[in-house]
A and B are shown apart, each in its own frame.
Chain A
Amino acid sequence: MCTYQTTTLPVRGSGKGAGGWFPVTDATVYFDHPVHAPGDHTLNLDLVNPGEGPGARVAVELDAASARALAHAILETLDAVPEALVAGRA
């Protein structure tokens, strides 16, 4: 099925897409059919900059277990570094 479950949020940083590096301003997280990954449904993450056009996108499609592991790894990594560094701007 199409789950249609989608979350969008503003982000700040950079991503490397087909045209090289660009500033990312928005993220879309959704659980739906992948374009490329095997499997019927994947956790899909788009890091984009709408101001630079549809091609300014870093796309990731992960199976659910991988996505959870990645999310935990991100949080564990952030928790492990000194607060003063995390509080700084990207």
Chain B
Amino acid sequence: MRAETISFTGAGGDEIEGYLAQPLDRGPVGGVVVIHHMPGYDEPTKEITRRFAAMGYLALMPNLYWREAPGASPDDAAATARRQGGVPDDRLVGDVGGAAAYLRGLSSSNGKVATIGYCSGGRQSFLAACSLPLDAAVDCYGAFVLNPPPEGSPLSVGPLGHLAPDLHCPLLGLFGAEDQFPSPDEVAALDALLTEHGKAHEFHTYEDAGHAFFATNRTSYRPEAANDGWERIERFFQTHLAG
């Protein structure tokens, strides 16, 4: 495996930073765009990116806060982005689209690309899957797909339910029953909406887990939910990213 920091073309033709991890001993293989959580382009999400390379995929995590905070430490960048309302949706689509194009352009790509996102990135993974020609998408506890952010939220983004008819690819959703953002009711409503529109999706809610149950460096980590979730992600990508 090789993991490195690269530059690629994102929204508006901007050159932005990304973290690329790729297996060196196989190909052609599928690609995964890893969409980081609100705390940003941090070490735990780089570790997740490397894990996808270890699974055999080309994996690229865009630094979504590059424009606000080029070269800053991830926590300073996240604090800056929080004050500025988060990442605009149109810019997110451009950056993920650029990352997908970069992966498809690698010589070891089989042309297929999925997205996966955590926390705010879960919502953004859904947004990307409704806006870009992707082959699969994973939403890990993304809030505000259907409900607006609460009063006092720093995020200047709106609900995405109106995009459900445009979902281009199968969606895997992994959620915690003890989470409030998204709440089980919001997850159930999204499940029903996608069913209504005939969109392929597979949702799992873990009873003993809340938000961020994949985060091994936080007290929210729930090994049983996370281990089962990783297995489901691996099977999902084996199905949809095969060459």
Q: Which residues of A contact B (CB under 8 A)?
A: 1-8, 26, 28, 30, 32-33, 35, 38-40, 46, 48, 50, 53-55, 57, 59
CB–CB A2/B72 < 8 A: no
A50 and B83: CB pair below 8 A?
A: yes
B179 touches A30 (CB 8 A): no
> Are A4 and B79 neighbours in the complex by a CB distance under 8 Å?
no
- When distances are taken between beta carbons in the complex, the residues of chain B under 8 Å from A39 are 219
A-binding residues in B (CB < 8 A)? 38-39, 68-69, 72-73, 75-80, 82-83, 119-120, 143, 149-150, 152-155, 179-181, 210-212, 218-220
Interface residues of B, dominant DSSP:
loop
B152–A5 touching, CB < 8 Å: yes
CB distance from A69 to the nearest CB of B (A): 22
A-B interface, 4 closest residue pairs, ranked by CB to CB distance from nearest: A54-B72, A54-B69, A4-B153, A1-B211
Q: Which of A1, A7, A26, A28 contacts B180 (CB 8 A)?
A: A1
Contacts of B38 in A (CB 8 A): 2, 32
Chain B residue nearest in CB terms to A56: B76
Complex alpha-carbon distance, A59 and B152, angstroms? 20
Shortest distance between the CB of B74 and any CB in chain A (Å): 8
Q: Which residue of A1, A4, A35, A38 contacts B210 across the interface (Cβ within 8 Å)?
A: A1
